[in-house]
Protein backbone atom coordinates (compact mmCIF):
# COMPACT_ATOMS: atom_id res chain seq x y z
CA UNK A 1 0.00 0.00 0.00
CA UNK A 2 1.00 3.60 -0.14
CA UNK A 3 0.12 6.83 1.61
CA UNK A 4 -0.07 10.19 -0.08
CA UNK A 5 -1.07 13.74 0.69
CA UNK A 6 0.31 17.26 0.44
CA UNK A 7 3.42 18.39 2.32
CA UNK A 8 2.53 18.91 5.96
CA UNK A 9 -0.50 16.61 5.92
CA UNK A 10 1.16 14.34 8.46
CA UNK A 11 1.69 11.35 6.21
CA UNK A 12 5.20 10.65 7.53
CA UNK A 13 3.95 10.33 11.11
CA UNK A 14 0.97 8.24 10.12
CA UNK A 15 3.08 6.06 7.81
CA UNK A 16 5.38 5.17 10.70
CA UNK A 17 2.51 4.29 12.99
CA UNK A 18 0.72 2.30 10.30
CA UNK A 19 3.75 0.25 9.30
CA UNK A 20 4.39 -0.56 12.97
CA UNK A 21 0.77 -1.51 13.59
CA UNK A 22 0.41 -3.56 10.42
CA UNK A 23 3.86 -5.14 10.71
CA UNK A 24 4.91 -4.11 7.21
CA UNK A 25 8.03 -2.30 6.04
CA UNK A 26 7.77 1.46 5.61
CA UNK A 27 9.60 3.07 2.69
CA UNK A 28 9.77 6.88 2.66
CA UNK A 29 11.53 8.40 -0.34
CA UNK A 30 11.90 11.74 1.48
CA UNK A 31 13.61 9.97 4.41
CA UNK A 32 15.88 8.03 2.07
CA UNK A 33 16.96 11.27 0.38
CA UNK A 34 17.44 13.15 3.66
CA UNK A 35 19.60 10.28 5.00
CA UNK A 36 21.78 10.44 1.90
CA UNK A 37 22.16 14.21 2.29
CA UNK A 38 23.06 13.82 5.98
CA UNK A 39 25.62 11.12 5.21
CA UNK A 40 26.99 13.11 2.27
CA UNK A 41 26.82 10.18 -0.13
CA UNK A 42 27.15 10.78 -3.91
CA UNK A 43 23.35 10.49 -4.22
CA UNK A 44 23.02 12.94 -1.33
CA UNK A 45 25.18 15.47 -3.12
CA UNK A 46 23.07 15.08 -6.26
CA UNK A 47 19.73 15.59 -4.55
CA UNK A 48 20.49 18.22 -1.90
CA UNK A 49 19.78 21.20 -4.20
CA UNK A 50 16.43 19.75 -5.26
CA UNK A 51 15.39 19.12 -1.66
CA UNK A 52 16.37 22.60 -0.49
CA UNK A 53 14.43 24.21 -3.37
CA UNK A 54 11.37 22.06 -2.70
CA UNK A 55 11.67 20.61 -6.20
CA UNK A 56 11.13 17.02 -7.08
CA UNK A 57 14.25 14.93 -7.37
CA UNK A 58 14.58 13.87 -11.06
CA UNK A 59 12.57 10.76 -11.88
CA UNK A 60 15.59 8.76 -13.04
CA UNK A 61 17.18 9.01 -9.57
CA UNK A 62 13.94 8.56 -7.65
CA UNK A 63 12.80 5.59 -9.70
CA UNK A 64 16.18 3.89 -9.27
CA UNK A 65 16.07 4.35 -5.50
CA UNK A 66 12.55 2.90 -5.30
CA UNK A 67 13.28 0.01 -7.66
CA UNK A 68 16.31 -1.02 -5.61
CA UNK A 69 14.45 -0.66 -2.34
CA UNK A 70 11.42 -2.66 -3.48
CA UNK A 71 13.67 -5.49 -4.65
CA UNK A 72 14.94 -6.12 -1.13
CA UNK A 73 13.58 -9.11 0.73
CA UNK A 74 11.95 -7.25 3.64
CA UNK A 75 9.20 -5.85 1.41
CA UNK A 76 8.10 -9.20 -0.03
CA UNK A 77 5.41 -9.56 2.64
CA UNK A 78 4.11 -6.08 1.95
CA UNK A 79 5.20 -2.48 2.28
CA UNK A 80 3.92 1.00 2.91
CA UNK A 81 5.31 3.56 0.48
CA UNK A 82 5.37 7.18 1.63
CA UNK A 83 6.21 9.93 -0.88
CA UNK A 84 6.11 7.89 -4.08
CA UNK A 85 4.77 8.09 -6.75
CA UNK A 86 4.68 11.87 -6.90
CA UNK A 87 3.84 12.29 -10.59
CA UNK A 88 2.23 10.20 -13.31
CA UNK A 89 5.58 9.06 -14.75
CA UNK A 90 6.52 7.63 -11.34
CA UNK A 91 3.10 6.03 -11.14
CA UNK A 92 3.77 4.23 -14.42
CA UNK A 93 7.21 3.17 -13.19
CA UNK A 94 5.76 1.77 -9.95
CA UNK A 95 3.37 -0.36 -12.00
CA UNK A 96 6.36 -1.77 -13.90
CA UNK A 97 8.40 -2.40 -10.74
CA UNK A 98 5.53 -4.20 -9.02
CA UNK A 99 4.55 -6.24 -12.08
CA UNK A 100 8.16 -7.46 -12.36
CA UNK A 101 8.08 -8.82 -8.81
CA UNK A 102 4.56 -10.21 -9.07
CA UNK A 103 3.18 -7.68 -6.60
CA UNK A 104 0.17 -5.44 -6.81
CA UNK A 105 -0.94 -2.27 -5.06
CA UNK A 106 -3.93 -2.96 -2.82
CA UNK A 107 -4.64 0.52 -1.57
CA UNK A 108 -3.57 4.16 -1.86
CA UNK A 109 -4.36 6.08 1.31
CA UNK A 110 -4.84 9.83 0.93
CA UNK A 111 -4.81 12.43 3.69
CA UNK A 112 -6.77 15.59 2.87
CA UNK A 113 -5.81 18.92 4.48
CA UNK A 114 -6.50 22.44 3.16
CA UNK A 115 -3.66 24.76 2.10
CA UNK A 116 -3.93 27.35 4.90
CA UNK A 117 -3.62 24.66 7.54
CA UNK A 118 -0.68 23.08 5.68
CA UNK A 119 1.27 26.35 5.54
CA UNK A 120 0.57 26.94 9.23
CA UNK A 121 1.81 23.46 10.18
CA UNK A 122 4.89 23.60 7.98
CA UNK A 123 5.96 26.99 9.29
CA UNK A 124 5.53 25.67 12.80
CA UNK A 125 7.56 22.56 11.93
CA UNK A 126 10.29 24.85 10.57
CA UNK A 127 10.76 26.35 14.02
CA UNK A 128 10.94 22.87 15.59
CA UNK A 129 13.06 20.76 13.25
CA UNK A 130 14.76 23.26 10.97
CA UNK A 131 14.12 21.19 7.85
CA UNK A 132 15.83 23.08 5.05
CA UNK A 133 12.70 23.01 2.85
CA UNK A 134 10.33 24.45 5.47
CA UNK A 135 10.55 28.16 4.61
CA UNK A 136 7.48 30.04 3.39
CA UNK A 137 8.49 30.43 -0.28
CA UNK A 138 9.66 26.85 -0.55
CA UNK A 139 6.53 25.60 1.23
CA UNK A 140 4.28 27.41 -1.27
CA UNK A 141 6.31 25.99 -4.12
CA UNK A 142 5.99 22.44 -2.71
CA UNK A 143 2.22 22.90 -2.38
CA UNK A 144 1.97 24.09 -5.99
CA UNK A 145 4.00 21.14 -7.18
CA UNK A 146 1.73 18.84 -5.23
CA UNK A 147 -1.35 20.24 -6.98
CA UNK A 148 0.27 20.11 -10.42
CA UNK A 149 2.21 16.87 -10.25
CA UNK A 150 0.86 14.68 -7.47
CA UNK A 151 -2.89 15.37 -7.41
CA UNK A 152 -3.24 13.56 -10.79
CA UNK A 153 -1.72 10.47 -9.15
CA UNK A 154 -4.56 10.47 -6.58
CA UNK A 155 -7.08 10.85 -9.41
CA UNK A 156 -5.58 7.86 -11.19
CA UNK A 157 -5.85 5.67 -8.09
CA UNK A 158 -9.40 6.91 -7.56
CA UNK A 159 -10.26 5.75 -11.07
CA UNK A 160 -8.69 2.38 -10.36
CA UNK A 161 -10.93 2.09 -7.32
CA UNK A 162 -8.09 1.75 -4.80
CA UNK A 163 -8.03 5.26 -3.28
CA UNK A 164 -9.06 5.51 0.38
CA UNK A 165 -9.32 9.18 1.24
CA UNK A 166 -9.37 10.33 4.86
CA UNK A 167 -9.80 13.75 6.51
CA UNK A 168 -6.36 14.82 7.78
CA UNK A 169 -7.62 17.44 10.25
CA UNK A 170 -7.56 16.53 13.91
CA UNK A 171 -5.20 14.94 16.42
CA UNK A 172 -2.62 12.36 15.40
CA UNK A 173 -4.67 9.70 17.20
CA UNK A 174 -7.91 10.76 15.49
CA UNK A 175 -6.32 10.51 12.06
CA UNK A 176 -4.65 7.19 12.85
CA UNK A 177 -8.04 5.89 13.98
CA UNK A 178 -9.66 7.06 10.75
CA UNK A 179 -7.00 5.39 8.64
CA UNK A 180 -7.36 2.09 10.52
CA UNK A 181 -11.15 2.28 10.25
CA UNK A 182 -10.97 2.90 6.50
CA UNK A 183 -8.57 -0.02 6.06
CA UNK A 184 -10.65 -2.29 8.27
CA UNK A 185 -13.69 -1.56 6.16
CA UNK A 186 -11.92 -2.39 2.90
CA UNK A 187 -9.64 -5.21 4.12
CA UNK A 188 -11.16 -6.75 7.25
CA UNK A 189 -9.17 -9.97 6.76
CA UNK A 190 -5.81 -8.21 6.59
CA UNK A 191 -6.18 -6.06 9.69
CA UNK A 192 -4.67 -7.00 13.03
CA UNK A 193 -6.77 -7.13 16.18
CA UNK A 194 -7.97 -3.65 17.19
CA UNK A 195 -6.40 -4.05 20.66
CA UNK A 196 -2.84 -4.40 19.37
CA UNK A 197 -0.84 -1.42 20.63
CA UNK A 198 1.15 0.80 18.25
Which spans of this chain sit near ligand ADP (rule: CB under 6 A)?
7-8, 29-30, 33, 50-51, 54-57, 62, 83-84, 86, 90, 133, 142
User: In this structure, are residues 153 and 86 in contact, taking their beta carbons and an 8 Å threshold?
Assistant: yes
Active site residues: 11, 86, 125, 131, 142
Closer to ligand ADP at the Cβ: 58 or 188?
58
The minimum distance between CB 32 and ligand ADP, in angstroms, equals 8
79 membership: H or E segment, kind and range:
strand 79-82
> What number of residues does the chain have?
198
Least distance between ligand ADP and beta carbon 46 (Å): 12
**Nearest residue (beta carbon) to ligand ADP:** 30
Q: At what angle do helices 59-70 and 29-38 cross, to 10 degrees?
A: 100
Interatomic CA distance for residues 121 and 127, integer angstroms: 10
Rounded to an integer, what distance in angstroms lies between the CA atom of residue 140 and that of residue 150?
A: 15
Q: Which is nearer to ligand ADP, 154 or 191 (CB)?
A: 154
Which C-beta is closer to ligand ADP: that of 117 or that of 187?
A: 117
Amino acid sequence: MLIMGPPGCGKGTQAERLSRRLGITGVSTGEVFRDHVKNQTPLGREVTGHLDAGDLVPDTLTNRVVRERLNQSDVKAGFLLDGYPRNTAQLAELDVILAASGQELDVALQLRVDDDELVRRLLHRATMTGRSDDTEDVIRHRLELYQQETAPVASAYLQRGILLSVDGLGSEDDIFGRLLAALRESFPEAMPDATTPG
